[in-house]
Amino acid sequence: MHSKTGYGRFAAKHGQMIDAHRYSYFLAHGAIPGGLDVHHTCHVRRCVRPEHLRATSRSENLSERKVRRY
């Protein structure tokens, strides 16, 4: 399933929705450090390849988004 924002999502235990890219990052790298977003270096919101994901600050992630204009 894809959310309105284009990110892949799925229902986990008890119906809690999880962003697929955040779960992929967690499986490959461990817990996402507190207060950080998961940034797609490939700029494809549906991508879940761990090598395309990195933890960044919210301001850095938003700056990248403005450059990409989506």
Token digits for 8? 């892949």
- Confidence bin at 14 (pLDDT 50/70/90): confident
Query: What does the mean pLDDT of the chain come to?
Result: 87
Q: What single-letter amino acid sits at 52?
A: H
51 has pLDDT over 80: yes
Structural domain that includes position 18? 9-68
Q: Is 2 domain-assigned?
A: no
Helix and strand numbers (H, E) in the chain are 2, 4
The model carries a pTM of 0.81
For 26, left (φ over 0), alpha (ψ -120 to 50), or beta?
A: alpha
Tally of domains in the chain:
1
Q: Is 13 domain-assigned?
A: yes
- Provide the pLDDT for residue 23: 94
Q: How many CB atoms lie within 10 A of CB 2?
A: 11
Q: Is 3 domain-assigned?
A: no
Pairwise CA distance, residues 52 & 58, whole Å: 17
Q: Is 1 domain-assigned?
A: no
